[in-house]
Chain A
Amino acid sequence: AMCPGGCGVRVRRISERAVKLEGNPLHPVNGGRLCPRGQAALQSLYHPDRIAGPLHRVGPRGAIGSFERVSWDRALDAIGGGLRKLREAGRPESLVLLRGSSRGIGSRGARRFLEAFGSPNDVVLDRGDEAAAIALALTQGVRAVPAYDLASADYVLCVGGALLEAASSPVHAMRSFGQFRQGRTGRRGKLVCVESRLSITGSSADEWIPVRAGTEGVFALGVAGVLVSEGLYNRDFLLERTEGFEDSRRGDAVARPGLRTLLSRHYGLERVSSETGVPVDAILRVAREFAAARRSLAVGPRRGPLLPGRVFDHLAVQILNALVASVDAPGGVLVPEPVPLAAWPELAADAAAEEGRRRPRLDGVSGKSGVSDKISPRALSDPEQLAEAILTETPYRAEALIALGADPLFTSAAPEKFARAIERIPLTVSFASLPDDTALACDWILPEAHFLERWELWTTPPGVAYPLASLAQPALVKPLHDVRPAAEIFLALARRVSPQIEAAFPAKDVPALLQFEMGGLYRARRGAIMGTPFDEAWVRMMEGAGWWAPGYGSAEELWKGALRSGGWWDPFYDHEDWKRVLRTESGRYEFRADLLEPSAGPIEPPPSTAKPAEAKGTARRSLSLHLFEPLAIAGGTGAELPFLQAILDPGHAAGWETWVEIHPEMAALLGVREGESVRVRSKDGEILARARLTPRVVAATAAIPVGLGKRGGGRWAAGVGANPLRLLPAARDPIGGLPDLDATAVEIVPASAGEPRRERKV
């Protein structure tokens, strides 16, 4: 798995060499299929620039030549020694763990290490699913990434997101899409995409509705307004399961205006049409189609693992699902269940660690970290604030940092601030396997084993409704290089720092850890070993009837069966289990009209979204920046592999460079020609990109892919393209506190034009 998608993989081996990866046909996530990233994964295993063993930096940051190879013992002793000193000095909180979105054992081991060590600073960098999860927490009271049941839907309205290529589990989403379209006799699903840039998903859609950048949520509310005013909603569901549709009254006075009032007051058709640029009849038509289809589903904006979209937009889109009762229904929005892995034993009493964990987090996020079912309507991590805190040393100083599957110098919304911040930390360690930008700036690199070289137990990927645990053993008998699995490295560090930390791990090596965790699945007395579609139907039927017919009689048998087949899962989804999926205070779906007041969201179009004709007169022509993540380089990884660099966007046959999509009419105004190099400048940064003139973007929008422009990443990634995350301002989404990626105005000038005249901002 190159991504959190967690597909099951089978390896075709020739003696000791892996020559081809195939999907595991029994695996429910991917059913034998792989996405291009999975197919290219061998290039990461055999990458010529992989780090072959532990490295210690002896020269300036930023260059692989500054590192010298050391033994694992030396590296672990040095790092373990440094960490032990922090703990002994009573400052365990000054250790920061920065990790990606992996749901593997490495991540669980890292968290346990951090907890036992005594630090609250568990910071997750990839936030693609956060906005959707926050919206779910706000409306349904469950802090989870919603799962969209695409395969069973008849009509999908995808608002502002690239449903397929930007999904957490692309293969799962695409399999569902195939099913949605042509997998059911007599039923063909219709997909309508509402976005300001025609994404690759949009190219598969039946219709693209271009919408002014940043107004996706407004469009959804416009559609909701039609549903409500024409009475095209599910009255029963509204009455029984929702809260906040009608005004709540105290006596004669309106205490809190409900959704109906909100929509009629602020999101009338004319207004929505003029704000979004979508004709009134298109809004009407979409609303009626949405209401008429048997199973309609609206999907909110998400453009990739790094680009979550605004919570406002997700809330607005969720309303559509609630209005037609596509909540926890087949073809609707489902809420994934946690995987019943055995919980790790309680931490032994350790005053120092407890004291440390109670300190405020450096990124300012309050509450206990990493608890996924906590109902927090805010982001669980704030890496940009972390960078700020490191630089200002408030509330305290960060003295050690471990980066696991995270490359903040490249993928955070403030890459340059992170580059400065990391220099302030005396002990920095990266687990990178290829020398990424962050690794090159760290003091130590402890190369993590490739996923084909290690034991793994992945839990359900985001976006998948059923609980699932994929078990994998190393595909190679021994790793290609002197590298170790992250969990093993943490075990080794634990041993060196303190016996209390070591004791916090329930086993002494990785397979044993996994076996321990799998014990929980056995005891859960549900689910089955992964199997064929027939097995799946059988289990589903049995469980639907209240039976459980395991194919295993002991934990040992489960372990062995899971190893053979790829894992364990429970294919039975109990729809309309309201107690589980509606856990708000009211026990109902809450519309949260209070958060959708125009003042709370980006209702006023940014000055940059004017039509070209309107912009003609003004001296300064700013465009709104639209970032997207091509599947090949999503999540900031992929550019390292030549096969992926070549498939960035089939629409332009783009590869090996960063481009900016500009509408031809806008380009004419800007004096930009097709294919020429341009400077894209925001008030926070500037990058070079190649201009691609295309009607795929709405006028006044500049669309740029994220994922290129690394300093590191090996021979194929380093220096290729530019990183548009450098253009982002520090703006925050007012709901939830995630970075607001849709609030950046940029101007574009041909690179040949040299320095443009300095103009004052209007």
Chain B
Amino acid sequence: MEGPEPTRDHRDDTLLQPIAKSGRPFWMLVGTLLAIGLWGAYAWSTQLRRGLSMTGLNVPVYWGLYITNFVFFIGISHAGTLISAILRLSHAEWRRPITRAAEVITVLVLFFGMGNVVLDLGRPDRVLNVLKHGNFTSPLLWDVASITTYLTASTIYLYLPLIPDIAILRDRLGKRHRFYRALSLGWAGTPRQQRILNGAIAAMAVIVIPIAVSVHTVVSWVFAMTVQPMWHSTIFGPYFVVGAIFSGIAAIIIAMAVIRRAYHLENYLKPIHFNNLGILLLVMTLLWFYFTFAEFLTTYYGAEPAHMAVFRSKTEGQFSPLFWFMFVTCFVVPFSFLANKRTRGTVWGTVTASISIEIGMWLERFLIVVPSLSHPRLPRTAASYTPSWVEWSMFAAFISMFLLLYAVFTKLFPIISIWEVREGREHGIREVTERVESYLPAAAEATHG
């Protein structure tokens, strides 16, 4: 009943194609992204030389694009590990071709999230003071701790399911042999190895969920632990987590659509996958709306002047165009695409919703950071904040470098987990049948009766 020897199975060779050879489009992409990355390096060097005066920041808008991007990237990071872990633990069979693509996002994007904090420091040279003189009453330190933990856990969680696939590459690819051999840790696919691996993956999936939740909660606490208007809110923890999952799922959908197209994986990533993620995304859309509504209504009813100043600047003042655009992109667009079965059932439908959500969620982060700072409690003529070319360049460079690393990953490892797809084919169907039967009232006896 077993299929051919794992490394001799040729049914999923499409998945090895991107690793085996790279065409001109790939190198052109690499070139472009590298160029943008280099531009970013130049922008950063000017900031290092001339300080944060190169940004558009001022008093009282001490935080801007960098902190927005920090929150945004960390939010995206919930794409992978968390979604994948939840799907794994709930034995959602359709997860199999998705998890890896998602997990990679997490690991990579975390670096860029942290990178934004370093960018934002006035004295990046003293960043190690955080270890030397760490002050545990500071939510920023909680952030350092939880993000580091999350990064470690996510990396392990990405790596464990990679091992069998690395073994396949080691045996089949014929290049980078030493690299794959070292990373495969002598994987031979023995039942014992398989049992240990499955156990480890399951354990990590359990561990990683609270960590992921904690990460974005702590990110929200950076704001909520101050007494600033429209930051000091108990709802911020869950609100941020929901937003993070929201933007995370959208990121997975976009990533899936791209690799599907680029590597001709229509056979693996089917509209049904998009549809299922789309349903999740729809739930998150509604949740997002619920939280946003609750947050704003609470503020509005409390009507404290300091809070209302921020509230008004968002709903009718200086930030209102961005705010309402955010509302459209975070709610109106995704809701109409995802609630409609016909559009949700298509790749373009979910992708459009997802792109809209990413834009909207970035704006949401921006609209959390900047308007509160622009309206401090004591009146003060605020210079308006417009991000400088350096900040935009760093944003572009970080996105480029993320895409570049992601692309390189797909060139080194299968972006769809080969062994898990096989496992699905070989065990999944039986397992699901058994499971479904186990839900039913003693069906066998009923027939005998």
Contact = CB atoms under 8 A, between A and B. Distances in A.
Interface string A643-668: 00000000011000000000000000
B61 to A, nearest CB: 15
Nearest to A653: B381
Contacts of B381: 652-653
Nearest to B382: A653
A652 B380 CA distance: 9
Interface string B376-398: 00001100000000000000000
A653 B380 CA distance: 8
Contacts of B380: 653
A653 B59 CA distance: 13
Interface of B: 380-381
Interface of A: 652-653
A263 B283 CA distance: 81
A120 to B, nearest CB: 51
Contacts of A653: 380-381
Nearest to A652: B381
3 contacts: A652-B381, A653-B380, A653-B381
Nearest to B380: A653
A673 to B, nearest CB: 13
Contacts of A652: 381
A421 B381 CA distance: 43
B439 to A, nearest CB: 67
B179 to A, nearest CB: 61
B59 to A, nearest CB: 11
A189 to B, nearest CB: 28
A656 to B, nearest CB: 12
A652 B381 CA distance: 8
B225 to A, nearest CB: 29
A246 B53 CA distance: 71
A716 to B, nearest CB: 19
A653 B381 CA distance: 7
Nearest to B381: A653
Q: Nearest 3 A-B pairs (CB), nearest first?
A: A653-B381, A653-B380, A652-B381
B237 to A, nearest CB: 36
A652 B379 CA distance: 11
B409 to A, nearest CB: 50
Nearest to B379: A653
A659 to B, nearest CB: 12
B285 to A, nearest CB: 38
A655 to B, nearest CB: 10
A653 B58 CA distance: 15
Nearest to A655: B381
A653 B382 CA distance: 10
B355 to A, nearest CB: 36
B417 to A, nearest CB: 58
A133 to B, nearest CB: 39
A676 to B, nearest CB: 14
A653 B383 CA distance: 11
B329 to A, nearest CB: 30
A110 to B, nearest CB: 44
B382 to A, nearest CB: 10
A47 to B, nearest CB: 24
A622 to B, nearest CB: 30
A182 to B, nearest CB: 24
A731 to B, nearest CB: 36
A30 to B, nearest CB: 30
A716 B255 CA distance: 54
A311 B413 CA distance: 91
B295 to A, nearest CB: 30
A653 B378 CA distance: 13
A77 to B, nearest CB: 50
A88 to B, nearest CB: 61
A734 B346 CA distance: 87
B317 to A, nearest CB: 13
A134 to B, nearest CB: 40
A386 B75 CA distance: 74
A360 to B, nearest CB: 53
B383 to A, nearest CB: 10
A703 to B, nearest CB: 18
A740 B380 CA distance: 37
A528 B381 CA distance: 49
A448 to B, nearest CB: 37
A419 to B, nearest CB: 35
A455 B381 CA distance: 43
A653 B60 CA distance: 14
B378 to A, nearest CB: 12
A648 to B, nearest CB: 12
A741 B268 CA distance: 84
Nearest to A654: B381
A696 to B, nearest CB: 15
A507 B381 CA distance: 56
A712 B381 CA distance: 29
A653 B376 CA distance: 15
B376 to A, nearest CB: 13
A739 B162 CA distance: 89
